[in-house]
Amino acid sequence: MNLVLIIFLATALMASAAILAILISRLRRQRAVMETILSATGSESPEEAAGSLARLTDREVVAGIVSTRLKQLLATYPKPVLLLDESAAIIDLSRKAETELEQPRRKRGLLESLGSHDLDEAVRRAMDRLEPQELTVRLHAHGRRPYAASIFPFRNSDRRECVVFLEDVSTPMKFGELRSQFAATVSHELRTPLAGIRVLVESLRDQEMPKEEAVRFLTKIEAETARLRQLIEEILFLSRLESGAAESIRGETVLRPLADQILKDKEQLIGKFEVKVENMVPDGLSLPLNERMATTVLSNLIDNAIKYSGRGSRVEISAGEEGNRVEFMVRDDGIGIDAEHLPHIFERFYRVDRSRSRRLGGTGLGLSIVKHIVESAGGEVQAISREGFGTEMTVTLPASGIMEP
């Protein structure tokens, strides 16, 4: 009898504990929802919240609720999202915003980060009036592509904040459009040195021209012709690489002797620019590229480091291995690259200073070729730079022997 009573009491106790647990969890959920609403509406009590909610739009409530769940959302949301404070500085941002927009950072102002006055004004207007705003803006990202921006302001305690959703609305170019755009760019690039040559040749017709002047003009024609040849060769090389018709890029090239050879070939250039170059690559490291591709990559980076450094600058080539990756760096303490230009330097024909690049015999294709080769081999190239302080280019590749066949 006693045993039956004990079993009955135990079962009743367990059942009450389960009911209590359910009640507590429900209460907790309700409290969490209530707290979310209070924080979204900036209210102190449920009554006040009810009043505030009546005045708020659905979107504002959603934005408020979103803000409390922001951490999870920001990690996974597939679009660029920014959470801004009252002064339009970035409190937090989605991973996609970090990778796609390249410039924004926490605590930085929106205008400074994305460079759009229109977006900055719309954000301030949205927070001022507590009214959502929608507009299309052009951002630095990917060559000033258009982005649709949706701004949802809300109150957070006594402050105002807003969430900005961005969406790339540029229509992807069709292959035909890309091809004709490329043809237009190429013909423009070819026309410039050709026009220069024509003017020089015209001037040489002048019978009265002093001999020294004529020799100077002929030297210029020679330089322009060399530039044209290099341009055509690089365009063809890049287009063969892109079409996949190029010879295989794979192989194995030992890095240190390659760097030594390139420096030897560039002795004249190094002397002309009075730059000190140091090969600090350890013995025994190899790149998973054939010699031609490895030379093209390294030579382009070294060339730039020498050309864009002032007299007396230092250039260092170093390398290392980490896990399955091999990494090499070309570092200079030269003129550096402004943050505004940095995201674009790997684009075809992009030059920070066209006339300087032209003077130095550049084509604007070197870095796009480097990027293409490195990415085709499963690696990546990264530039870190500060205007006036120098540039560091880092190439990371799978260590030789572990590339897919």
Q: Which residues bind ligand ADP (CB under 6 A)?
A: 300, 304-305, 308, 332, 334-337, 345, 350-353, 357, 362-368, 391
Q: How far is the CB of 334 from ligand ADP (least distance, A)?
A: 5
Which three-class secondary structure state does DSSP give residue 163? strand
Q: How far is the CB of 329 from ligand ADP (least distance, A)?
A: 12
Instruction: Please give the full DSSP string across 29-93, using - where no structure is assigned.
Output: HHHHHHHHHHHHHT-SSHHHHHHHHHHS-HHHHHHHHHHHTHHHHHHH-SS-EEEE-TTSBEEEE
| Closer to ligand ADP by Cβ: residue 74 or 297 | 297
Toward ligand ADP, which CB reaches closer, 31 or 276? 276
| Cross-strand pairs, 82 | 93, 164
Q: Transcribe 348-372 into DSSP letters.
A: TT--SSHHHHHHTT--S-HHHHHHH
User: Closer to ligand ADP at the Cβ: 86 or 387?
Assistant: 387
Task: Report the residue number, 168 or 353, with the smaller CB distance to ligand ADP.
Answer: 353
For ligand ADP, give the closer residue by CB, 133 or 363.
363
Least separation, in Å, of the C-beta of 138 and ligand ADP? 22
Instruction: Select 353 or 380, whichever has its Cβ closest to ligand ADP.
Output: 353
**Contact yes or no for 332/309 (Cβ under 8 A):** yes
Shortest distance (Å) from residue 360 CB to ligand ADP: 7
Q: CA-to-CA distance for 60 and 45, rounded, in angstroms?
A: 18
Minimum distance from CB of 298 to ligand ADP (Å)? 13
Closer CB to ligand ADP, residue 67 or residue 391?
391
In terms of CB distance, is 133 or 368 closer to ligand ADP?
368
Give the nearer residue to ligand ADP in terms of CB position, either 49 or 231: 231
Cβ proximity to ligand ADP, 98 vs 347, nearer residue: 347
Handedness of CA 26, 30, 35, 36 (dihedral sign): positive
The distance of closest approach from Cβ of residue 322 to ligand ADP in the complex, given in angstroms and rounded to an integer, is 24
- The dihedral of CA 118, 120, 122, 128: what is its sign? negative
DSSP H stretches of helix in 205-340 = 211-243, 255-265, 267-273, 291-307
Q: How far is the CB of 371 from ligand ADP (least distance, A)?
A: 9
CB-based burial label for 130 (10 Å; 0-12, 13-18, 19+): middle
Rg (CA), the chain: 31
Q: Evaluate whether 306 touches 275 at the Cβ level (below 8 Å).
A: yes
- The CB-of-347 to ligand ADP minimum distance in angstroms stands at 8
Least Cβ distance, residue 385 to ligand ADP (angstroms) = 7
Select 81 or 301, whichever has its Cβ closest to ligand ADP.
Answer: 301
Range list of H helices, 107-174: 110-114, 117-129, 141-144
Q: How far is the CB of 28 from ligand ADP (least distance, A)?
A: 56
CA nearest 164: which of 248, 103, 85, 230? 85
Minimum CB separation of residue 201 from ligand ADP in Å reads 25
Q: Which two tokens stand for residue 213?
A: 């002047």
Residue 163's contacts (CB-CB under 8 Å, 6 or more residues apart) are 63, 66, 67, 70, 81, 82, 83, 84, 151, 152, 154
Instruction: Please report how many Cα atoms fall inside a 13 Å half-sphere around the Cα of residue 289, on the Cβ side.
Output: 25
